[in-house]
Chain A
């Protein structure tokens, strides 16, 4: 097994340039790209999530670690594709229609990517039709719905209903999160999972895809 400690240190420090350099060096020394994800990036982002939950890291630290991870993915994604490596799961993610807030969704996207998931980020104020089209097109196993406003919570139910009407509800797991969301709301609208915070979303997604 290659030693990915330099890469992990760079991700934890949120140093994009150092992370890319460490990844390049590891690859040049023969490291397997999939190993780099599973044993380099994923544990580092899991540690970032742990530090965030423990109150040692805050949103800016999490964001720059995620940014470092993203830049490493730019480097290794073509190599993974060439190998035919499969992601842990494929997640379509977006903030529901009418809601223009993106911070929670971006944090979840970053941690999921760091956890080995392929994330299709649809952005903010996403219509049910757009979620459905993306899930069908990308063959995603999970759709993640985010909302910050109490007034946009009903759009989560509308989106779920649209999946039911389209006959796709049984083909995709739905996870929801955001400041006004509760487990009881998730149960009421029939979501498959609720993440209390960004860090818990990775565990939830793993559970939903049976990893």
Chain B
């Protein structure tokens, strides 16, 4: 992100009323490689392609901010790989991490990874290190440490069904698992900050939080989110595009001050549930409108969203989730133009 973009984001988070409504999008491997004309595997394995794809997006859409910015990642394999998960790669599909815990008892043998050495983590850091001078010459800074959240990583290590069942049948072991993961995440985020002192934000992605009820969230979700978000940074950004009505009122207790949420809830409802304390990044339908609609559909969705706003503060207009695969250039342009036309 550029310094003006970062300052805009901080101002929005402070609750300042800006002259223009800001727009911003999460961009990563589901959309960026194919949009830029590359396969997903080439994007992951070739740092020139990775850099070029980001530069192309920045040049095509100069009037919006991309979060977290230059994002070094290997999809859902990034953190699970450090725990020993085998990563499975196809030329143009998302990589997939295979389970490492066959039974809940395997948790007893799970070790906390070394964030400096294990799995794909050194590759994540090295990519940014190699390209940091170029990123900074382009006027950008590395602002965010990024990680999948504790529940999300747990599902990759043992399977979604198995993990969610075990919350009920073996809560002690699941706390043990989540403690190992949270300890790991604290170190992983600290290491990213150590490598890149310009980092002043954390982006954590955890859709599994939206799969559980209130008691389970308070027992297995919130304490671990609080721990991982305890670092002293200005922006605590959380992505969960599963339904998150249950978790929303408690997110401020984890220090979260920026939330990208799905299309199941309206901006107005989410503002109410979060007490107006969290800046919202959302939320026209990403797939049905931004990816599959026409520019006119996008303009209509943005108009409905903006005209229905009860409060324009603490809002960055976006889609409800990251940009999904297949979103055409003209639809993103239509989104930005529609916001500008409506007083953005």
Q: Which residues of A contact B (CB under 8 A)?
A: 14, 55, 57-61, 63-64, 67, 98, 100-103, 106, 149-152, 180, 182
Is the CB–CB distance between B94 and A60 below 8 Å?
Answer: no
For this complex, 24 residue pairs linking A to B, each with C-beta atoms less than 8 Å apart, are: A55-B245, A58-B212, A59-B164, A59-B211, A59-B212, A60-B164, A60-B168, A60-B216, A63-B164, A64-B169, A100-B88, A100-B96, A101-B160, A103-B160, A103-B161, A149-B93, A149-B94, A150-B30, A150-B287, A150-B324, A150-B326, A151-B93, A151-B325, A180-B287
* 0 or 1 for each of B317-329: is its CB under 8 Å from A? (1 = yes): 0000000111000
Q: Shortest beta-carbon distance, B20 to chain A, in Å?
A: 32
Chain A: minimal CB distance from B187 (Å): 28
Nearest 5 pairs of A and B residues by beta carbon: A58-B213, A103-B160, A59-B211, A60-B164, A63-B165
Name the residue of chain A whose CB is nearest to the CB of B212. Answer: A58
Cα separation A151 to B245 with both chains bound (whole Å): 28
A151:B161 contact, CB within 8 angstroms = no
Q: Report if B114 contacts A (CB, 8 A).
A: no
**Proximity bits, B187-230, A CB within 8 Å = 1, else 0:** 00000000000000000000000011100100000000000000
User: Nearest chain A CB to B165's CB is how many angstroms away?
Assistant: 5
Measured in the bound complex, the distance between the Cα atoms of B212 and A88 in whole Å is 31
When chains A and B are docked, how far (Å) is the Cα of A41 from the Cα of B35?
49
Residues of B within 8 A of A (CB): 30, 88, 90, 92-94, 96, 159-161, 164-165, 167-169, 211-213, 216, 245-246, 287-288, 291, 324-326
Task: Let me know if A182 and B288 touch, CB within 8 A.
Answer: yes
Q: Distance in Å from the Cβ of A186 to the closest Cβ of chain B? A: 14
Check B287–A60 contact: CB distance below 8 A: no
Contact among B94, B161, B324 for A106, CB-based, below 8 A = B161
Given the complex, which residues of B lie within 8 Å of A149, measured CB to CB? Answer: 93-94
A98-B93 contact, Cβ under 8 Å, with A64-B169, A67-B165: yes
Within 8 Å CB of B160, what residues of A? 101-103
Q: Are A98 and B324 touching (Cβ within 8 A)?
A: no
Q: A60-B211, A151-B92 are in contact. List 4 more A-B contacts (CB 8 A).
A: A58-B213, A100-B88, A101-B160, A103-B164
CB distance from B242 to the nearest CB of A (A): 9
Contact B165 A64 (CB under 8 A): yes
Q: Give the residues in chain A near B291, CB-CB below 8 Å.
A: 150
CB neighbours of A102 from chain B (8 A)? 159-161
In the complex, A151→B34 CA distance in Å?
12
Measured CA separation A20–B324 after assembly (Å): 45
Give chain B nearest CB distance to A16 CB in angstroms. 9
Shortest C-beta distance, A101 to chain B (Å), equals: 7
- On chain B, the residues within 8 Å of A106 by CB distance are 161
Residues in chain B near residue A59, CB distance under 8 A: 164, 211-212
